[in-house]
Amino acid sequence: MVPLAFPVKRILVILIATLALSLQGCTPENQKPLQHVHQYFESIRNNEALLTAFFSEMPKGGDLHNHFSGSVYAETYWNYLLRKNPWFDTVSLVFEYDSIKRINKKGDYKRFISLPELIRKNKLPDMKQRILQVWSVKDYVDSEIPSHKHFFDSFGKLPSGGWNETGIGLQELQNRALRENVQYLELMIKGVPSDIMPENADRYTSLLKLKEYTDTVALRPVLDSLTQAFRKKQLSKDVVNFNSILLSVHNKFVPDNNAVTIRYQTYVNRRAEPVKFFRDLLLAFESAQTSPLVGGINILSPEHGDVSMRDYKLHMYMFRYCSQLFPEVKYSMHAGELTLGLVKPEDLTFHIHDAIYIAGANRIGHGVDMAYETDALTLLQYMHDKKIAIEINLFSNEFILKVKDDKHPITLYKNGNVPIVISTDDAGILRSNLVHQYVLLAKRYPQISYADIRTFILNSIEYSFIKDQALKDALYTSVKTKLESFEEKIIKNTRLHSTKV
């Protein structure tokens, strides 16, 4: 992990000194500016502190793969919990607000301790540390439980708040982006909530589970009928309600400003049973079609879960079907977040393939199993030709899947000229940030140059799902200008220091 509280001023002094040393006697005045930066960058490639200072200063454009609930840090959830005056189970670390629920935990109720009691016994700091360890990867010890289990279980343990808490979390992410020199966040915010179910839901369930569909032709009549059934129940009302709350929360807590722009993806949960999954997909597509703030949609939850694996192809066909109903809606898909050992080898061969060829994904999230995919080289060429970007989440892949260094397929994507963006995934649960991702990128992959990184940064705006083209163009120009200023600063500091030396 990058030391988060490193004294930045001191690092910058070291950075400038190293910069001067590295360029002494080797930088002709007429050399192109990018070459200066490139030389300096190469000279610090193996120094994590210098890289951290470099990337902290560097404008990083957008973070396009960013789960809102996993990006807010556990300390913020903790503060929210304290405001609710909870009782804590001192053994399991679950909490309750309601005394009846606590007493109903048959025999275990004696393990609960109230907040005032914790404070009186001076045990609140200890409880906080223990809770942070289960809500995030803080102090995680490898041998306790599998890292992917620890990671995914964390989400279920976080206290869930209302839209007001969402607004507070959004402010935290916007402020962090500002400090970290990130200009755009595309947040996977929530699924559109609904409890509408069609008449004869069981019949639809059995029709959808009846066989393994191999094309949309056989599936279409079932989905047509199901779409009609949901529309009869006025599914759109839930979309209108969701979009309107999102708009008012956005305008209240994180209105558009010149420093950081936020847009959203809504999503579907791949663990849901087929009828619910399809309902949520219709809701997500309609939300993205009608809200100015929802740029696209996504599909989440562990890809290796039983339902996710069983229904993978069905989900892909459902995406394809909905994309025909809502042709303007864009979507990124978590696909290939798998590795050898986590699933059977044959299950590593088709997830990215199907997300692209069947579902028609505009971007792929993770894509870690690319090396195992059937005819990977053709798939990479297709991604290049169709400009389907890959969202690379280095630290997430390292922690959850144990895939890092040359096990990671980033070089495959790079060699295939697939558009790459660098993102965080769940910076809060992973106790990470976007600077950390770039540091890992620079340290681990010497074949990726400063010019490549510059392209990745501009990609993060170009491949974003911002709908308003004027806003997107303005953001692109602004990030480009900021990059040029950053490069000039590096060069200027180098020259100043060289003269003094």
Give whichever of 286 and 425 is closer to Zn ion, judged by the CB atom: 425
Least Å distance, CB 36 to Zn ion, is 36
CA distance linking residue 429 with residue 74, whole number of Å? 7
Q: Which is nearer to Zn ion, 283 or 392 (CB)?
A: 392
Pairwise CA distance, residues 108 & 89, whole Å: 8
- Nearest residue (CB) to Zn ion, 180 versus 426: 426
Position closest to Zn ion via CB: 425
**Minimum CB distance to Zn ion, residue 366 (Å):** 7
Residues between 178 and 207 with contacts to Zn ion, criterion CB under 5 A: none
Shorter beta-carbon distance to Zn ion: residue 102 or 334: 334
CB of 112 to Zn ion, least distance (A): 34
Q: Kindly state the smallest distance separating residue 401's Cβ from Zn ion, in Å.
A: 12
Give the nearer residue to Zn ion in terms of CB position, either 61 or 336.
Answer: 336
Q: Which residues, 411 to 440, sit near Zn ion by CB under 5 A?
A: 425
| Closest by Cα among 51, 176, 177, 66 to 436 | 51
Q: Which 3 state secondary structure label does DSSP give 415?
A: helix
What b-and-e string marks burial along 312-334, b requiring 16 or more CB atoms within 10 Å of the CB? Answer: bbbbbbbbbbbbeebeebbbbbb
Which residues are within 8 A (CB) of 334 and not within 5 positions of it... i.e. 6 or more apart?
298, 299, 300, 303, 365, 366
DSSP result, 158-186: SPP--HHHHHHHHHHHHHHHHHTT--EEE
Comparison of 279 and 363: residue with beta carbon closer to Zn ion: 363
Token digits of residue 50: 């210098």
Residues 6+ apart with CB under 8 A from 481: none
Task: Name which of residues 61 to 90 contact Zn ion (CB under 5 A).
Answer: none
Measured from the CB of residue 140, what is the shortest distance to Zn ion in angstroms? 18
How many residues bind Zn ion, per CB under 5 A? 1
Helix axes 8-23, 33-44, angle to 10 degrees: 110
Closest to Zn ion by CB, 95 or 395: 395
Give the nearest distance from C-beta 354 to Zn ion in angstroms: 18
CB 464 within 8 A of CB 472: yes
Complex with Zn ion: residue 398 or 425, whichever CB lies closer? 425
Whole-angstrom Cα distance, residue 439 to residue 441? 5
Q: Are strands 87-89 and 95-96 parallel, antiparallel or unpaired?
A: antiparallel
Query: Phi-psi region for residue 181, left (φ > 0), alpha (ψ -120 to 50) or beta?
Result: left
Residues that bind Zn ion (CB under 5 A): 425
